[in-house]
Amino acid sequence: MTDLAPLTGATADRSDPASPVEHMKWWGWGVPGVAFHHEDKPAFAPFVLHAVGIDLHAVQPLQQPDFAAIEVPASIADQALRDALAAAVGTEHVIDGDLDRVVHTYGKSIRDLIKVRAGDLPRVPDLVVYPKDEAAVLAVVEAVVAHDAVLIPFGGGSNIAGSLEPMPGESRAVVSLDLGLLDRVLDIDEGSGLARVQAGALGPALEAQLNARGWTIGHFPDSFTHSSLGGWIATRSSGMQSDKYGDIADITRGLRVARPGGMLDVRATPSASTGPSVREMILGSEGRLGVITEATVQVHRVPAKRVIHAYFFPNWRAGSKAMREIAAGDVHPAITRVSDGRETGFSLATAKESKGFGALAQRGLFAFLKRRGWDLDEMCLSFIGYEGSPDHVARQRRAVEKIVKRNKGVGVGTGPGVLYDQKKFDTPYLRDFLLDRGTAGDVSETSVPWTNLDRMHDGVIAAAEAAYESLGRKGWIMSHLSHSYHSGACLYFTFAFVMGDEPQAEYDVVKQAIQQAFIDLGGVPSHHHGIGVEHAAWLPDVLSEEGIGVLEGLFAATDPGRNLNPAKITAR
Amino acid sequence: MTDLAPLTGATADRSDPASPVEHMKWWGWGVPGVAFHHEDKPAFAPFVLHAVGIDLHAVQPLQQPDFAAIEVPASIADQALRDALAAAVGTEHVIDGDLDRVVHTYGKSIRDLIKVRAGDLPRVPDLVVYPKDEAAVLAVVEAVVAHDAVLIPFGGGSNIAGSLEPMPGESRAVVSLDLGLLDRVLDIDEGSGLARVQAGALGPALEAQLNARGWTIGHFPDSFTHSSLGGWIATRSSGMQSDKYGDIADITRGLRVARPGGMLDVRATPSASTGPSVREMILGSEGRLGVITEATVQVHRVPAKRVIHAYFFPNWRAGSKAMREIAAGDVHPAITRVSDGRETGFSLATAKESKGFGALAQRGLFAFLKRRGWDLDEMCLSFIGYEGSPDHVARQRRAVEKIVKRNKGVGVGTGPGVLYDQKKFDTPYLRDFLLDRGTAGDVSETSVPWTNLDRMHDGVIAAAEAAYESLGRKGWIMSHLSHSYHSGACLYFTFAFVMGDEPQAEYDVVKQAIQQAFIDLGGVPSHHHGIGVEHAAWLPDVLSEEGIGVLEGLFAATDPGRNLNPAKITAR
């Protein structure tokens, strides 16, 4: 029931045979051999033509990149470092093969994909190591510092903020530490709803181990299938149900971090008044304070009932106002999400003819709304998720639907929500499909107080459109509100444009326009994707120079040799 | 309707006449001229006799301490520092009077009160300054660092962790920066539920300004009447309704902090993924990162309905299990609190004959429970608070009362809750009453996962009793669960014992036994009172040596001259 299909003409795309861990495609998102397709979505091609001007029926997609054509810089790791790492993790788990090193060079932002497809590899890790337990992670950290090399932790490789890449000018050896072998749930404290989990566990492995005992972490970012617990923590991730379960910063209670001096261990307790929070320093630290090996996280009983209802609002203002009223009320759904008219159009265009929205359209709903005076281009699709006992779900739904009605919204049942639930992890594949057709698409998100929300929505769209115009290029941007808080919400933007001769520079123009609008309109550079190198330029705007100084002081004091993923977050 | 009355024989206890701010008594808690009394509480004296062996009818209370009898070390501030501070805040707001300096020497822990009453003043601030705005605060910070003096911020002076005291061996001049003149709500963003507030606002002033416009911060610690927003933030405070409104760490969104290099400004947004959280570094920093001048905090509409219901459980196990089941359920009351049998006995003993519990007893409730097989010494009093629309309150109550019933609890209506609400801020006065009668009483609290909660409860009581026995002294300890979280709860202990010849050393024996039990049984040194000097010894146990190293690195990097409240939190 997903949007995915076997990739036509897929060649052997697998990880380096020497690697003990399976990875995503070296050149794109997701499982090797699987790709987005639109053959059964008749409205998709017309939508793409309208949005970015590409005729999918006419354009000849690029061939899958050929790894043999890529020139990979040789490893500069010397024998002493190799020996020390082999002593730490075993010779078989120190890899210097080109494919594995390229897989560990970038995350999966569109900037990353453009670069790796173009063979733009100014600096790749010199070695990739796969420790099998915490002791081995600590031994790697100590070896890297002892040999004055650079260490970059790697979870699922889904990062889109540039947190994983070696700095281009780095003259020391760079070691990528892949946590893929640390993927176990170690213990569940069933009385407290706490689980001890190794940091390398990817979403599906983590959830399967919890589900087997009747528990869930309740953390489902779009990257879920290819991101790890340690990565979520290192970037302060949020998931689709964070309105109920909290962001990863709320979920994470205890932490173990391998540092040059030994293991840092924050005891897992419900709350503490123990000085500046060391727990909150590790959260979002992107490797600069050490390597997260384990976390104790809140887990919940799988709810008796879980359902996602879809609603349409006549326009963005009505939809965002409804979300604000829900947040201010007494009930707190697990998901509060509303797409703007543009993104709603996109969702309808990716629907299959006879299912979900297709079926809705067939039932004449849209004709009815039109007769009611709605402009279907402005119409906004909302998903509200309810979880808990059947009674609780029913009560929450009644309370929400009063607010929906007051804001002229219309409920359309659970069909679209079921589809959304099934397809939610497929969207990242779409970027590769577009890239194959000369179109760059990516996402950027911010958080903003309610008062500025609509202004932010409109302002970011205007900024992106100005950027497209300055490039003389046809582009598209759409948005949804993805998480609600007491004082505001997260706005999540997806943008795409047809690339010219200088894709990287063009991407930078668009991305910078969007990020600058975030700042100018009262937001932050990132709500849940982290800072890395892509967002670092805007950090002083929201933390002030003194705040950046505090961060730099922290990093300088705890990593004086700049061995731990240097230059990320603060860019200095 | 409170437990307080004019203090018999109270002398002029007011602040230094030169001080522009009213303070608490220099020798004890609360408003000068007001004290706890028990004349209308017939069960109180028998309770005290039972608990610590003091016969209130026989004991002769101490006279109120005489400030004239106290020897106060002379100020060592030199003229250059005085001039620089006068330039910053105005000559009239630089105070070197003995009374004001003593008022700013300690907080109000029992250790503080024992010391100040005994004239044990190894080191007092050399000057007290009262900046009237943020620019003046910044100028003070800069002047103190330029003259290599030491700066200790002071809010309401209610701290009980030793966060306010100058270190005994400090050879540099010590300046206490009193934020009392910065007490205004600057702005309310009504659309977002955010208020910009100056850090020196005490609870009542803050709440009055918010209430006047229909808002509340929802933060009500026991110290509310004499603690400030900045102090709450600097110690990571919690309040009675934190189950609903969040701890101060959740409530605080934006921050402004005066640092030697200038103002640090964290933009107020609902959530952010911007590296290690600078916001969370300021929270709990106890002055070591600078002086908090302003915060943007979440505020809420005063709820349509607010009610506290009282319940009795047959014993502690039943009560704590009910709280755990409430936390795991779908409804989340504003207050979840249950006292153990000992504290329930104390509550009943402080009741007036004809009101609240007295009336309950008259109605024969206790006789009924006894017939039902309850041991009234084991009986546990619980308060559950409900807030929101009347419907929401009714629904929550129904859901909670199912859990109460399942755990053999009995509802006793709203009468006791009304009394609790009225008297909740009076309890700290009791310590001075006891101290006047040779008895030291104080509080210590921790947080712990649910699985360890009962073990913690029993273990701390056993540890305190062993400490009393080792001193050969009669003592008392009682507890309540004060805040519930998904994974555990806060346990709050109140303890008292009859002092001998060495009150400070005896207090240390008892306090250390309790704190060590917190650690040994899976808790933290403090849930919401901070670390200061009193809890610092146990910090490595919950953060690990590496964690302490990270904290020390942060402080060393951001305050290389050790000018900002040095030696607090890390004790190094």
Span A489-515, pLDDT tens digits:
999 999 999 999 999 999 999 999 999
The one-character DSSP state at A82 is H
Calculate the CA dihedral of residues A72, A78, A79, A84 and round it to 10 degrees.
-100
Interface size, chain A vs chain B, as Cβ–Cβ contacts under 8 Å = 316
Which residues 6+ apart lie within 8 Å of A190 measured at CB?
A213, A215
Contact assessment for residue A503 and residue A440, using Cβ atoms and an 8 Å cutoff: yes
pLDDT at position A424: 82
Q: List Cα–Cα distances, A69 to A64, A118, A120, in angstroms.
A: 11, 10, 12
List the single residue in B192, B238, B550 with the smallest CB-CB distance to A451: B192
C-alpha B496/C-alpha B502 separation (Å) is 15
| Banded pLDDT at B7 (limits 50, 70, 90) | low
C-alpha B474/C-alpha B52 separation (Å) is 5
The one-character DSSP state at A331 is -
Q: Of A129, A204, A123, give the one whose Cα is nearest residue A169.
A: A123
Averaged over A30-51, what is the pLDDT?
91
Bridge partners of residue B496, in order along the sequence: B441, B476
pLDDT at position A64: 86
Residue B87 CA from chain centroid, whole number: 34
Bridge partners of residue B411, in order along the sequence: B311
- Per DSSP, the three-state class of B410 is strand
Which residue from B minimizes the CA distance to A283? B276
Contact assessment for residue A471 and residue A497, using Cβ atoms and an 8 Å cutoff: yes
pLDDT top residue among A367 and A495: A495
Among A274, A299, A317, A330, most B C-beta atoms within 10 A, so best to mutate, is: A274
Average pLDDT over chain A, rounded to an integer = 94
Bridge partners of residue B174, in order along the sequence: B150
Query: Which A residues in the span 38-97 are in contact with B, Cβ-Cβ below 8 Å?
Result: none
The predicted-structure confidence for B422-459, as pLDDT tens digits, reads as follows 788 888 999 999 999 999 999 999 999 999 999 999 99
Contact A544 B264 (CB under 8 A): yes
pLDDT at position A7: 66
b/e A452-470 (16+ beta carbons within 10 angstroms → b): bbbebbebbbebbbebbee
Averaged over B39-66, what is the pLDDT?
92
C-alpha A102/C-alpha A106 separation (Å) is 8
List the single residue in B395, B488, B542 with the smallest CB-CB distance to A395: B395
Chain B residues lying within 8 Å of A193, measured CB to CB: 328, 450, 486-487
Q: To the nearest whole angstrom, how far is the Cα of A566 from the nearest Cα of chain B?
A: 13
Query: Half-sphere exposure of residue B268, counting CA atoms within 13 Å on the CB side?
Result: 28
The predicted-structure confidence for A97-113, as pLDDT tens digits, reads as follows 999 999 999 999 999 99
Chain B residues lying within 8 Å of A549, measured CB to CB: 261, 558
Contact assessment for residue B477 and residue B445, using Cβ atoms and an 8 Å cutoff: no
| Banded pLDDT at A540 (limits 50, 70, 90) | very high
Q: Is the pLDDT of residue B354 over 70?
A: no
Angle, alpha carbons A444-A447-A451 (nearest 5°): 130
**Among the residues of B472-538, which ranges form H helices?**
503-520
Q: List Cα–Cα distances, B456 to B448, B459, B515, in angstroms.
A: 8, 5, 11
The predicted-structure confidence for A151-186, as pLDDT tens digits, reads as follows 999 999 999 999 999 999 999 999 999 999 999 999
Q: Is the pLDDT of residue A212 over 90?
A: yes
Contact A274 B330 (CB under 8 A): no
Contact assessment for residue A197 and residue A294, using Cβ atoms and an 8 Å cutoff: yes
The predicted-structure confidence for A112-141, as pLDDT tens digits, reads as follows 999 999 999 999 999 999 999 999 999 999
The predicted-structure confidence for B229-279, as pLDDT tens digits, reads as follows 999 999 999 999 999 999 999 999 999 999 999 999 999 999 999 999 999
Q: What element of type H or E holds B477?
A: strand B475-484
Contact B300 A486 (CB under 8 A): yes
Lowest mean pLDDT among A3-12, A344-353, A527-536, B175-184: A3-12
pLDDT at position A1: 43
What amino acid is encoded at A1 in this protein?
M
Contact A486 B298 (CB under 8 A): yes
Candidate list B311, B420, B492, B507, residue with the active-site label: B492
CB atoms within 10 A of CB A57: 7
- Residue A74 CB burial class (10 angstroms; 0-12, 13-18, ≥19): exposed
Chain A residues lying within 8 Å of B531, measured CB to CB: 273-275
Q: Of A521, A174, A539, give the one whose Cα is nearest residue B274.
A: A539
pLDDT top residue among B107 and A571: B107
Contact assessment for residue B241 and residue B300, using Cβ atoms and an 8 Å cutoff: no
Q: Is the pLDDT of residue B535 over 50?
A: yes
Average pLDDT over chain B, rounded to an integer = 94
Calculate the CA dihedral of residues B304, B308, B311, B317 and round it to 10 degrees.
100
The one-character DSSP state at A228 is B
A509: alpha, beta or left? (left if phi > 0; alpha if psi -120 to 50): alpha
The predicted-structure confidence for A60-96, as pLDDT tens digits, reads as follows 999 889 999 999 999 999 999 999 999 999 999 999 9
Chain A residues lying within 8 Å of B549, measured CB to CB: 261, 558
pLDDT at position A419: 78
Which residues 6+ apart lie within 8 Å of B191 measured at CB?
A324, A449, A450, A451
The predicted-structure confidence for A422-432, as pLDDT tens digits, reads as follows 788 888 999 99
Q: Is the pLDDT of residue B12 over 60?
A: no
- Two tokens, residue A28: 């794109």
pLDDT top residue among A4 and A450: A450
- Per DSSP, the three-state class of B526 is coil
pTM of the shown model:
0.97
Q: Is the pLDDT of residue A476 over 80?
A: yes
Which residues 6+ apart lie within 8 Å of A289 measured at CB?
A257, A259, A264, A281, A282, A554, A555, A558, A559, A564, B276, B550
- Measured between CB atoms, does B317 come within 8 Å of chain A? no
Which residues 6+ apart lie within 8 Å of A324 measured at CB?
A450, A453, A484, A489, B191
Contact assessment for residue A508 and residue A109, using Cβ atoms and an 8 Å cutoff: no
- Two tokens, residue A518: 């975030």
- Two tokens, residue B281: 């570094």
Q: Of B361, B385, B376, give the one whose Cα is nearest residue B315.
A: B376
Contact assessment for residue A30 and residue A428, using Cβ atoms and an 8 Å cutoff: yes
Q: List Cα–Cα distances, B538 to A395, B233, B518, B524, B548, in angstroms.
A: 46, 21, 9, 8, 11
CB atoms within 10 A of CB A366: 17
| Sheet of A439-449, strand order | A410-411, A305-313, A380-388, A335-339, A475-484, A488-498, A439-449
Contact assessment for residue A235 and residue A168, using Cβ atoms and an 8 Å cutoff: no
Angle, alpha carbons A106-A109-A114 (nearest 5°): 80
| Banded pLDDT at A358 (limits 50, 70, 90) | low
A420 catalytically annotated: no
Say which residue the tokens 């949005």 belong to.
A51
Q: Is the pLDDT of residue B13 over 60?
A: no
C-alpha B262/C-alpha B148 separation (Å) is 17
C-alpha B235/C-alpha B245 separation (Å) is 17
Contact assessment for residue A563 and residue A286, using Cβ atoms and an 8 Å cutoff: no
Averaged over B68-93, what is the pLDDT?
97
List the single residue in B273, B330, B569 with the smallest CB-CB distance to A389: B330
Say which residue the tokens 């990097």 belong to.
B557
Which residue from A minimizes the CA distance to B269? A448
Contact A266 B486 (CB under 8 A): no
| Banded pLDDT at B1 (limits 50, 70, 90) | very low
| Banded pLDDT at A18 (limits 50, 70, 90) | confident
Q: Of B543, B526, B542, give the one whose Cα is nearest residue B534.
A: B526
Angle, alpha carbons B68-B71-B73 (nearest 5°): 135
The one-character DSSP state at A225 is G
Q: Is the pLDDT of residue A568 over 70?
A: yes
Lowest mean pLDDT among A71-75, B315-319, B352-356, B561-565: B352-356
Rg of chain A over Cα atoms, rounded to whole angstroms, equals: 23
pLDDT at position A415: 84
| Banded pLDDT at A39 (limits 50, 70, 90) | confident
Which residues 6+ apart lie within 8 Å of B95 measured at CB?
B16, B18, B19, B101, B127, B128, B129, B130
- Measured between CB atoms, does B214 come within 8 Å of chain A? no
Q: Is the pLDDT of residue A8 over 70?
A: no
C-alpha B507/C-alpha B509 separation (Å) is 5
Chain B residues lying within 8 Å of A328, measured CB to CB: 193, 301
C-alpha A147/C-alpha A153 separation (Å) is 17
- Backbone φ, ψ for residue B153 (5° rounding): -70, 150
- In chain A, % of residues over pLDDT 90: 88
